Amino acid sequence: MDANGDFVVIGRINRADGPAWGSAVVSADSPLPPLGEDLPYTVVRELPAELTEEDRDTVLYTLPLPLPCNNYPMLFAPEQRPDAHSVQRPSYPLHGAPIPDLRQEDGPRLREPITLGQWVKARGQLEVTLSADRRSATFAFAFTGLIPNSLYTVMSLREHDLDPAGPTRPGPLGVPNAFISDGHGMAHYQATLPNPFPAAGTPGANRVINVVVLWMSYQQNYGGAIGHFGLGGDIHAQLKLRGPHFQEFTTRD
């Protein structure tokens, strides 16, 4: 979010003529449809491809809790935070999010505001390699332009995670799924998943169709969960593929 409480969106934006990839500042009072349906966002203003100086200097904030404009019923950490939907917290600047048990004398590395200009510098490369027996696949990432000296995690998005009839819980891409960017915003990450691309029609199949790189405002990861409160609350999607991928791969048990 920005300081006005509006969403800063780079990704799929719902418009009157349908969803399309773009960049815009979107009102948190946008109409909320049922999960699986679309309504046009209330766009406060479009963000140009080449950000203005004012846009680049926009300080980024977490979403307040409970998450505004949210129709996704998922509990991301049911064992750790079964009460996640009832927690109430204000919006914080990303660099000032309430890291649990933090003491200033312990040396927090992030002390300056994080701006939109910094955020959009992130770049990533992904290489997927199937094992010889096609029972697993390795995901190898290389990143530049990340927020320096920060904890990041990687999550997988599977084909049924957004199924309105019964969404499955998004999970980590590997456990542990954490890495730390260096002082120049560079990092590498690698994980191997068992049978991430089962053939269509396989009983119980739930293929990985996307990966998302998350900046962690609380500077911690959550074991087998991707976060406590969801996107924008304590996990912040900085990089992802624009749509479903990996159709060319098939793995097996």
Q: What pairs with residue 59 in β-bridges?
A: 115
Q: Would you say 1 and 25 are in contact if contact means Cβ atoms under 8 Å apart?
A: no
- Quick one: pLDDT at residue 9? 97
Whether the per-residue pLDDT at 241 is higher than 90: the answer is: yes
- pLDDT digit string (tens) for 76-128? 999 999 999 999 999 999 999 999 999 999 999 888 999 999 999 999 999 99
User: What is the percent of the chain where pLDDT is above 70?
Assistant: 100
- pLDDT digit string (tens) for 31-67? 999 999 999 999 999 999 999 999 999 999 999 999 9
Q: Would you say 74 and 170 are in contact if contact means Cβ atoms under 8 Å apart?
A: yes
Residue with tokens 């209330």: 42
Whether the per-residue pLDDT at 131 is higher than 90: the answer is: yes
Q: What pairs with residue 1 in β-bridges?
A: none
- Quick one: pLDDT at residue 111? 87
pLDDT band at residue 29 using 50, 70 and 90 as cut-offs? very high
Cα(232)–Cα(10) distance, integer angstroms: 13
- Spell out the residues 6+ positions from residue 38 whose beta carbon is closer than 8 angstroms to its own: 14, 18, 19
Query: Is the pTM of the predicted complex or chain greater than 0.75?
Result: yes
- pLDDT digit string (tens) for 137-161? 999 999 999 999 999 999 999 999 9
Whether the per-residue pLDDT at 201 is higher than 90: the answer is: no
Pairing of strands 43-46, 208-216: unpaired
Query: Between the CA of residue 196 and those of 30, 91, 101, 127, 193, what are the distances in Å?
Result: 35, 36, 36, 14, 6
Q: Would you say 195 and 252 are in contact if contact means Cβ atoms under 8 Å apart?
A: yes
